[in-house]
Amino acid sequence: MASKLNEYGYNCRRGQQYNGLDGEDVVGLDYIHIEVKRVQALNLDEAMEQAKRDSKDNQMPAVFHRKNNKKWKVTMELDDWIQIYNEYYSSKKLSEVIRERDNRK
């Protein structure tokens, strides 16, 4: 998963497996605790509980998971997803306002 996030331009590395000290599967996405599961049969509730237990106070727990020959997926609790979406929405709206302002000039 760390190498996949690196493809998107994030400076990530394996956590626990890397040095045994971090307690995180992947390190490098600020404010997100990543629990990685690469299994054919996944109990999402258990994985999310583990992510919540292992996350620090300033981190949103997220489960990054995939089955063989399938794309990666991310599971989060709705409250955390809404917080991320609100930031995304605000950014898009701001871009629209700036674009409209620039078009009027």
CATH number of 67's domain? 3.40.1350
Domain coverage including residue 16: 2-76
Backbone angles phi, psi at 70, to 5 degrees: -125, 165
Alpha helix segments (H runs only) across 1-105: 2-7, 16-19, 44-54, 78-104
Measured between alpha carbons, how far is residue 91 from residues 20, 27, 55, 100, 105 in Å?
Answer: 37, 25, 26, 14, 22
- Spatial distance between the Cα atoms of 66 and 44, rounded to a whole number of angstroms: 11
32 domain residue, yes or no? yes
pTM over 0.85: no
Q: Rg of the Cα trace of the chain?
A: 17
As for how many domains the chain has, the answer is: 1
Q: Report the pLDDT value the prediction gives residue 29, as an integer from 0 to 100.
A: 94
* Bridge partners (DSSP) listed for residue 29: none
**Do 23 and 15 touch, CB atoms closer than 8 A?**
yes
82 domain residue, yes or no? no
20 domain residue, yes or no? yes
105 domain residue, yes or no? no
pLDDT tens-digit series, residues 20-73: 454 789 999 999 999 999 999 999 999 999 999 999 989 999 999 999 999 999
